[in-house]
A and B are shown apart, each in its own frame.
Chain A
Amino acid sequence: MNDDLTTRLRQQLHDQADDWEAAPLTLDSVRGRARSIQRTRRVVTGAAAVAVAAVVVPSVMLLGSDLGADREIPPAGPSPTRVIDTDLPTERADGTVPLEVLDAPAGDATAAGYIVIADNQLRTGEGALDLPAGTQQLRRFGDGWIGLRATTNPENTGYSMFRADADLRVTVEASAMGLVVDLAGQQAAWVEVDGDQWSLAAGTPEAESWRTPVEPNTQPVGFQTDGSVVLQTLDHETGESTFAVADGQRSVPFGEGLLRLEATSEVTDAVSALASYDDPVGTACFTVLDPVGDTTVFDTCDFQPVAFSPDGTLVAGFMAYADAIGSPELAILDAATGEPLVQWSSGRDRNPASVQEVAWEDADTVLATVTEGGQQTVVRGELDGTLEQVAEPTQVNMSVAYWLPGAPANLG
């Protein structure tokens, strides 16, 4: 006799978990993890040893709770740890803080990693991995990797999607255009091209989940909370784009009149898009919307929202109009209102810095590639405005030395 689904579901969940009565965590182990968390949030350069500093995080950033401020952790021994406050950047009258990266202190290595173009390597605090030749996009996927790379095969699209093992050795490859991966590295969606047949596919590290035909020149932009995929399709004849949310069974259009999608949040379903562009003036305006109801969250002509934070409460943004060199500003915005919480700007510097890419390192910390004075580096930016280097500044002039695997894919 078949039982009701949810009754069986409850039973099996309890059967699976309830026999685990272990309590392996101790106060000492939790305190040790707490110290580690504090160390990854703040490092003071020049000190003989890493010091623990108090970090004040706006309460709104902690999932709506009032438990906002970190507590300094005293050691178990009798001598208290000497606390050194970091120097916070001086805020200008307009509320911005200087975008100065060459003088920024060196910070901890980032587990998120960055790509060193000259060496074709992914570098993290644990070491370096050689990339497959031509890698353009790279994301963690299951126990291995998934990515896009350029290919010289004239019979395909010019790009291929590859799967690789933990050491970045390619295991499988297929002609593809566009790839998105969820934050956990457990879902991917990509567009495959076979002759004139375009298909959108989605799957886990273990297996493909679904596949559906799509129009030519369709690219995935990101995931929604229910696993559906946000798509953008370019009509080469008209130069206009259309947008939809697809899940393998149906495709729901949204965003009529928008010009281009910038980013999606797989936690809040929010989508950022270019809404209007005045070419002679160079003015661009953007909108953040919920595609399900096609409702607007906020509009801005000051910033280009390019990457939502992992929990969807924040969005990183560039100056609304940025040229190919980069944006002279980088901001972290409240994703519900568009208000800047921190705004780095070169101001009226004679040799302004420019930001090429930005990605989220964690819920409230960004990584960005920034060029200043002909040198490019990778910096970590915090909500209190502090910047610290995580990669050695490298002379680049008009080229680039680094890119971020977690940065939004270039859909151009």
Chain B
Amino acid sequence: MAGRGTTPRDAEFSSYMNARQASLLRTAYLLTGDRHTAEDLVQTAFAKLYLAWDKVEDQGSIDGYVRRILGNENNSLWRRAWKRRELASETVPDRPHHDEYDGGAGRELWGLVQTLPKKARAVVVLRYYEELSEAETADALGISVGTVKSQASRALATLRTRAPQTLDPTLTSREEER
């Protein structure tokens, strides 16, 4: 929120941040599995955007730029592993996977998503939560479209292998081609 002494630049940046913060936090939470880490990730992304705000030429490209920072920072979390913070309750389950059918009311697939390799998890979140296209996902993560496709395919195969009761085999091939 702009206050006394806020420059027009800061007011413009604040407006963008307020409009996008909640959405980015939700995506960051799915990427990291932890709300504290998600806040840290998004704060860093906004900070780097703030540093480069004067160079923004195309307002429509800001979302893509912030996603790229988010993806890059998510890959750099190993640098901040030194910070010993208490994790939120949404942590990776003790067992990486289980085949018990949850009747559709639980979070079986979410638990399995958290066990995916980081890159595969990011592809899953951007493709199936943010509904980005393969090209937009590739741009956000700094990888090729081909890698997006292979990552998504392998991630779905992994989920399918570990949670067979959730599948309807007749719909599998059509959805993978989407």
Residues in chain A within 8 A of chain B (CB atoms):
2-10, 12-18, 20-25, 27, 29-31, 33-34, 36-38, 62-71, 73, 76, 111-113, 124, 126, 140, 166, 182-187, 204, 206-207, 209, 223, 225-227, 266-269, 310-313, 361-363
Contacts and interface: CB of A to CB of B under 8 A. Distances in A.
Contact of A4 (B50, B96, B171): B171
A2 B43 contact: no
A184 B142 CA distance: 16
A140 B81 CA distance: 7
A62 B142 CA distance: 10
A225 B128 contact: no
Interface in B4-44: 5-6, 10, 13-14, 17-18, 21-22, 25-27, 29-30, 35, 39, 42-44
Contacts of B76: 183, 310, 362-363
B29 to A, nearest CB: 6
Given A5-B156, A183-B75, 12 more contacts: A4-B167, A5-B160, A5-B171, A5-B175, A20-B29, A27-B6, A66-B55, A67-B52, A71-B55, A206-B93, A206-B94, A226-B120
B83 to A, nearest CB: 9
A33 B124 CA distance: 29
A81 B178 CA distance: 53
B142 A227 contact: no
Contacts of B35: 20
A19 B82 CA distance: 30
B51 A34 contact: yes
A4 B81 contact: no
B170 to A, nearest CB: 9
A140 B142 CA distance: 24
B119 A225 contact: yes
B110 A16 contact: yes
What is the predominant secondary structure among interface residues of chain B facing chain A? helix
Contacts of A29: 43
Contacts of B18: 23
Contact of A17 (B26, B46, B74, B165): B26
A269 B48 contact: no
Interface in B140-175: 142-143, 147, 150-151, 154, 156, 159-160, 165-168, 171-172, 175
B175 A204 contact: no
A34 B143 contact: no
Nearest to A127: B82
Q: 5 nearest interchain CB pairs?
A: A33-B47, A4-B171, A67-B52, A227-B117, A34-B47
Q: Which of B49, B74, B128 has the most CB of A within 10 A?
A: B128
B135 interface: no
15 contacts: A5-B166, A9-B109, A22-B22, A27-B6, A30-B17, A30-B46, A37-B44, A37-B48, A62-B52, A63-B68, A63-B72, A111-B79, A225-B143, A311-B72, A363-B72
Nearest to B153: A226
B134 to A, nearest CB: 14
B132 interface: no
B25 A20 contact: yes
Contacts of A16: 29-30, 90, 107, 110
A268 B143 contact: yes
Contacts of B60: none
Contact of B142 (A31, A38, A267): A267
A13 B125 contact: yes
A111 B35 CA distance: 22
Given A30-B17, A67-B56, A70-B51, A14 B117 contact: no
Nearest to B74: A184
Contacts of B129: 10, 13-14, 17
Contacts of B57: 66
A4 B47 contact: no
A6 B156 contact: yes
A2 B166 contact: yes
Contacts of A63: 68-69, 72, 142
A266 B118 CA distance: 10
B56 A361 contact: no
Contact of A27 (B13, B94, B165): B13
B118 A362 contact: no
Contacts of B53: 71
A111 B82 contact: yes
A66 to B, nearest CB: 6
A397 B155 CA distance: 51
Given A9-B128, A183-B78, A185-B78, A38 B96 contact: no
